[in-house]
Amino acid sequence: MPRFAYFDPHPAQAVTTQSPLHHFVASASGEGSAVALREHAFLDHLILRGEPAVMIDVVQSVLGLTLPTEPQTLVLGDAGSLQWLSPDEWLLIVAAGDGFRLQRALCEALGKSHFSIVDVSGGQTVLELHGECAVAVLMKSTVYDVDPGRFPVGKGVTSVFAKATAVIRRVGEERWELIVRRSFADYCLRWLLDAGEEYGIDYQPAKARVASARKSASNMEAVS
């Protein structure tokens, strides 16, 4: 009997594909922008759940990533990023179209252990803030202490963002990512554009997605 019903959501041919922010246009920032805002749309997002002891070796062998077991941390690697969410919960973000293959590969490697791997790609998106005023924009938006001296590169937290929630993480010296839910994305973007106006926030919409060929012949994949 199949234990899990994994599902490849990506169509085989090019179809209309919309990020939750598809209706926004570029901001008129011009000269002297101190913060840039970009959406990294259409990536594949998987929620991994399991005891660290169960996950750690498999994550290393399948993804080549060290499972972050320290709370509020993330690791970045060639395969993508892996974010600690709770003691038995991680967010894996990988290139568009890789999710389904990795879902099955992880499942196979995890064998009979207890775990869950859930595709949430359609349910959230990644926003990147970049520039010297990125921190100031975040300070207007979250009560979390985002002082770069206290929030090193590689830290990521789930916290209040305006009146919504976001994963807030620092991926580079002046580079921060926000992971927001699809249904709140419009609100979050409006908020960021408003909060960033003072710093001449420069927003460019994500490029329209070019559909990749499906990785599997059948979309119905049951894994036993």
Partner 1 sequence: MSSTQSFRLASESGVGSQIDCDKPLSFIFNGKSYPGYAGDTLASALLANGVDVVNRSFKYSRPRGIVAAGAEEPNAIVQLGSSEAAQVPNVRATQQTLFDGLTARSTNGWPDAQRDMMGLIGKLGGPFMPVGFYYKTFKAPASMWLTYEKYIRKAAGLGRAPTESDPDIYDHMNRHCEVLVIGAGPAGLMAALAAASSGVRVILCDEQPVFGGSLLDSAETIDGMAAFDWALDAVERLAALENVTLLPRTTANGYFDHNFVTLHERRTEHLGDTAPTLDGRRQPRSRLHRIRARHVVLASGAHERPLVYAGNDVPGNLVAGALSTYIRRYAVRPGKRLVLSTTNDYAYRTALDWQNAGGEVVAVADARANPDGELVERAKAAGIRIISGSAVVEATSDRKGHRVNGARVAAIDIEGFRVSGEVELLNCDTVATSGGYSPVVHLAAHTGVRPVWRDDILGFVPGQTIAAFEGFGVVGAAAGVYAAAGVFESAVTQVKRALASDGIDAEEVQIPIVETFREGAAVAMYQVPHDKPTMRAPKQFVDLQNDVTAAAIELATKEGFESIEHVKRYTAMGFGTDQGKLGNINGMAITARCLGQTIPQTGTTVFRPNYTPVNFGAIVGRHCRELFDPERYTAMHQWHVEHGAKFEDVGQWKRPWYYPQKRRERADGKLESMHEAVVRECRAVREKVGVLDASTLGKIDIQGPDAREFLGRIYTNGWEKLAVGKARYGLMCKDDGMVMDDGVTTCLADNHFLMTTTTGGAAAILEWLELWHQTEWPELEVYFTSVTDHWATMTLTGPEARNLLSELTDIDLDRDSFKFMEWREGIVAGVPARVYRISFTGELSFEVNVQANYAMQVWEALFDHGEKYGLTPYGTETMHVLRAEKGFIIVGQDTDGSMTPEDLGMHWCVGYNKPYSWIGKRALTRSDTRREDRKQLVGLKPLEANVVLEEGAQIVLDPKQAIPMRMVGHVTSSYYSPTLEHGFALAVVKGGHKRLGEKVYLPMPDGVTHVAEVVGSIFYDPKGQRQNI
Length of the chain: 224
Options 35, 50, 81, 110; binder of partner 1; rule CB under 8 A:
50
Rg (CA), the chain: 18
221: tokens are: 């994949």
Q: Which of residues 169-198 bind partner 1 (CB under 8 A)?
A: 181-184, 186-187, 190-191, 194-195, 197-198
Instruction: Answer for the pair 161, 195: CB distance below 8 angstroms, yes or no.
Output: no
Using CB under 8 A as the binding rule, whether residue 87 contacts partner 1 is answered as: no
Options 68, 80, 156, 200; binder of partner 1; rule CB under 8 A:
200
Options 25, 111, 150, 152; binder of partner 1; rule CB under 8 A:
150
Using CB under 8 A as the binding rule, whether residue 3 contacts partner 1 is answered as: yes
Coil, helix or strand at residue 57: helix
158 beta partners? 167
Residue 132: CB minimum distance to partner 1, A: 14
Using CB under 8 A as the binding rule, whether residue 132 contacts partner 1 is answered as: no
Residue 119: CB minimum distance to partner 1, A: 7
Using CB under 8 A as the binding rule, whether residue 47 contacts partner 1 is answered as: yes
> What are phi and psi for residue 54, nearest 5 degrees?
-75, -40
208: tokens are: 């329209």
Measured in Å, how far apart are the chain's first and last C-alpha atoms? 6
DSSP assignment string, 14-47: ------TTTT-------TT---EEEEETT-EEEE
Using CB under 8 A as the binding rule, whether residue 4 contacts partner 1 is answered as: yes
Separation between Cα atoms, residue 104 and residue 223, nearest integer Å = 7
Using CB under 8 A as the binding rule, whether residue 202 contacts partner 1 is answered as: no
Query: Given the rule CB under 8 A, which residues bind partner 1?
Result: 1-5, 7-13, 15-20, 22-23, 30-32, 42, 47, 49-50, 88, 114-116, 118-124, 136, 139-140, 142-145, 147, 149-150, 162-164, 181-184, 186-187, 190-191, 194-195, 197-198, 200, 209, 219-220, 222
